[in-house]
């Protein structure tokens, strides 16, 4: 493992004396996490209620897939302009614009219209605008952590921001299940007459409208919070490495082969499993699992992901020179084994139990998702002094490419959905040798370690 930094240490001690950690860093992180959570909830808005909206609006699987598809495709289209924007402007400006995109998208989705085709177009427009916010909400967490948090809290801060990415889909699974009734309830009430059936569809439409209004209210509140108080950086930096100048506008050209190994090892399994989670209901319908049960499996997977993400991030921060690659390898192997088990019990009805479905999916999704803050930090350390926002956006752009490829397959109905389980299994398995080839380097952390050894810890405000 390489630990020698790229630059000299002549002024490290003096730089350490000019550092300070402010308590309100946690408030800034909280507001950012609210934005991340809401953007993720809007992205996964339709998946948990897919059965109901397909019945109420006569949408197809392709429509549901396209609404999720806008997230990765817009990400890939706009991530590089976002890296330039964040480097030349500020974290605050990026978050204000992103929150405005999310709020504007929710305005369009919540507009009362009498045409189903216009409503569908508004929902697609919401997906596109919400997708434009994707690069900031998924990748700016590492920049925020570097600007506001000391070395021994940096991965934890990234983990909390990453956890918020899982919180959004978790809330959409939970709230969607309660806000919009299951299509199974529609069928039950429709047995007696077409009149009752049409009345049930009207109820679903009203519930969807109220759900959209709630999304709009939350999005506007978050935008207001960011406008009121969200500084880009503290008055004094929290660490020596945060003071060092990042490379200029050539960031992408400075990413070496080692960093690209981390990019691919994360992007492939994460992109596949993210899209897999977003359309999990469609997959489970193939195996005759009702929407309500699949929603609860998805909720449990997201909830477990949040806990494991936070645990992994905090564990890394407990060590001065953590072995993040080894931990990531173990989590990916765990995810692969879990997806193999989940695939078997789906394909073999004799093995299928509710507990088995929960364990297979929860462990598979949670173990893979828990690698997110680890790969973000490994890539940032390897690419330093390339800016954190550039490196992380490249990592997440790769994830969105694989996510788009996964969702594209759903536009071909003849393929069915059984392949989803195999794709999730294979993506995690193929990532393992890539991580094993990755060489851990801690270029950024070395500055902070030397400063800590030479002049002690930063002063707590």
Q: What is the DSSP string of 362-376?
A: HHHHHHHHTTHHHHH
Give the chain's length.
461
Other C-beta atoms closer than 10 Å to the C-beta of 277 total 24
Cα dihedral 407, 409, 415, 419 sign: negative
Q: Would you say residue 300 has pLDDT above 80?
A: yes
What's the pLDDT score for residue 21? 75
What's the pLDDT score for residue 3? 45
| Residue 293 or 74, more confident | 74
Taking Cα atoms as reference points, which of 162, 124, 118, 120 lies closest to residue 42?
124
Q: Would you say residue 174 has pLDDT above 70?
A: yes
Scan for tokens 């994707």, then name that residue.
Answer: 134
| Residue 107 or 286, more confident | 107
What's the pLDDT score for residue 461? 47
Q: Would you say residue 11 has pLDDT above 60?
A: no
Confidence of residue 161 (pLDDT cuts 50, 70, 90): very high
What's the pLDDT score for residue 266? 94
What's the pLDDT score for residue 459? 43
Percent of the chain with pLDDT over 90: 32
The dihedrals phi and psi of 234, each to the nearest 5 degrees, come to -75, 170
Q: List, for residues 393-448, the tens digit of each pLDDT value.
A: 889 889 988 988 888 887 787 777 788 889 999 999 999 999 999 988 887 777 76
Confidence of residue 188 (pLDDT cuts 50, 70, 90): very low
| Residue 117 or 455, more confident | 117
Average pLDDT over every residue of 155-160: 91
Alpha helix ranges (H) inside 89-150: 91-110, 116-132, 134-148
Q: Would you say residue 253 has pLDDT above 60?
A: no
What's the pLDDT score for residue 288? 78
Average pLDDT over every residue of 364-375: 92
Other C-beta atoms closer than 10 Å to the C-beta of 188 total 12
Q: Would you say residue 122 has pLDDT above 70?
A: yes
Tell me the three-class secondary structure of 184-224, residue by residue: HHHHHHCCCCHHHHHHHHHHHHHHHHHHHHHHHHHHHHHHH
Helix (H, G, I), strand (E, B) or coil at 126: helix
Q: Would you say residue 98 has pLDDT above 80?
A: yes
Close Cβ partners of 420 (under 8 Å, ≥ 6 residues apart): 276, 279, 283, 406
Q: List, for residues 51-95, the tens digit of each pLDDT value.
A: 788 888 888 878 887 888 888 889 888 888 888 888 888 889 999
| Residue 100 or 289, more confident | 100
Confidence of residue 113 (pLDDT cuts 50, 70, 90): confident
Query: Do 219 and 99 meet the contact criterion of CB atoms below 8 Å apart?
Result: yes
Other C-beta atoms closer than 10 Å to the C-beta of 120 total 18
Query: Do 328 and 374 meet the contact criterion of CB atoms below 8 Å apart?
Result: yes
Cα separation, 94 vs 36, in Å, equals 13
Q: Would you say residue 9 has pLDDT above 50?
A: no
Q: Which range has the worst mean pLDDT, 141-155, 191-205, 236-250, 274-288?
A: 236-250
What's the pLDDT score for residue 340? 94
Q: Which range has the worst mean pLDDT, 275-279, 331-335, 358-362?
A: 275-279
Domain 23-449 in CATH 1.20.1250.20? The answer is: yes
Report the chain's mean pLDDT, rounded to a whole number: 83
Average pLDDT over every residue of 218-231: 95
Cα separation, 56 vs 199, in Å, equals 10
Confidence of residue 251 (pLDDT cuts 50, 70, 90): low
What's the pLDDT score for residue 329? 94
Q: Would you say residue 158 has pLDDT above 70?
A: yes
Is-cis flag, bond preceding 37, omega within 30?
no
Scan for tokens 């990400």, then name that residue.
Answer: 75
Other C-beta atoms closer than 10 Å to the C-beta of 4 total 8
Cα separation, 16 vs 452, in Å, equals 8
What's the pLDDT score for residue 5? 45
Average pLDDT over every residue of 6-14: 48
Q: Which range has the worst mean pLDDT, 18-27, 166-175, 188-197?
A: 188-197
Q: Would you say residue 108 has pLDDT above 90?
A: yes
Helix (H, G, I), strand (E, B) or coil at 2: strand
Query: Do 157 and 23 meet the contact criterion of CB atoms below 8 Å apart?
Result: no
Percent of the chain with pLDDT over 70: 87
Structure tokens at 410: 């759903």
Query: Do 233 and 148 meet the contact criterion of CB atoms below 8 Å apart?
Result: yes
Cα separation, 289 vs 230, in Å, equals 44
């Amino acid at each position: 493992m390489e630990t020698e930094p790229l630059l000299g240490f002549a002024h490290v001690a003096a730089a350490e004396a000019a550092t300070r950690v402010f308590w309100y860093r946690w408030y800034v992180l909280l507001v950012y996490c609210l934005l991340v959570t809401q953007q993720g909830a809007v992205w996964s808005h339709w998946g948990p209620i897919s059965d109901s909206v397909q019945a109420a609006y006569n949408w197809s699987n392709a429509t549901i897939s396209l609404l999720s598809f806008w997230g990765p495709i817009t990400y890939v289209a706009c991530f590089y302009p976002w890296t330039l924007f964040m480097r030349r402007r500020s974290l605050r400006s990026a978050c204000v614009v992103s929150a405005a995109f999310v709020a504007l998208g929710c305005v369009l989705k919540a507009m009362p219209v009498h045409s189903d085709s216009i409503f569908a177009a508004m929902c697609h427009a919401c997906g596109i605008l919400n997708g434009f916010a994707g690069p900031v909400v998924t990748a700016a967490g590492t920049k925020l952590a570097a600007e506001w948090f000391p070395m021994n809290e940096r991965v934890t801060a990234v983990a909390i921001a990453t956890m918020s990415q899982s919180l959004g889909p978790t809330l959409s699974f939970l709230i969607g299940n309660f806000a919009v009734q299951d299509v199974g309830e529609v069928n039950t009430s429709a047995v007696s007459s077409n009149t009752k059936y049409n009345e049930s569809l009207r109820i679903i439409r009203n519930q969807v409208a109220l759900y959209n209004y709630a999304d709009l209210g939350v999005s506007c509140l978050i935008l207001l919070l960011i406008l009121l108080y969200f500084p880009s950086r503290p008055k004094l930096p929290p660490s020596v490495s945060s003071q060092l100048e990042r490379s200029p506008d050539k960031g992408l050209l400075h990413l070496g082969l080692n960093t690209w190994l981390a990019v691919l090892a994360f992007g492939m399994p994460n992109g596949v499993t993210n899209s897999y989670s977003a359309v999990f209901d469609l997959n489970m319908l193939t195996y005759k699992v009702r929407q309500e049960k699949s929603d609860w499996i998805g909720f449990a997977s997201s909830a477990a992901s949040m806990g494991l993400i936070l645990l992994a991030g905090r564990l890394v921060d407990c060590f001065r020179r953590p072995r993040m690659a080894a931990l990531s390898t173990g989590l990916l192997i765990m995810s692969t084994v879990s997806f193999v088990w989940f695939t078997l019990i789906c394909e073999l009805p004799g093995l299928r139990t509710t507990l088995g479905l929960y364990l297979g999916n929860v462990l598979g999704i949670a173990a893979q998702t828990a690698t997110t803050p680890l790969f973000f930090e490994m890539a940032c350390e390897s690419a330093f002094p390339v800016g954190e926002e550039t490196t992380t956006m490249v990592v997440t752009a790769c994830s969105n490419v694989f996510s788009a490829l996964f969702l594209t397959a759903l536009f071909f109905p003849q393929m069915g959905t059984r392949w989803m389980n195999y794709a999730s299994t294979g993506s995690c398995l193929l990532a393992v040798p890539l991580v094993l080839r990755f060489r851990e380097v801690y270029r950024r952390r070395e500055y902070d370690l030397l400063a800590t050894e030479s002049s002690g810890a930063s002063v707590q405000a």
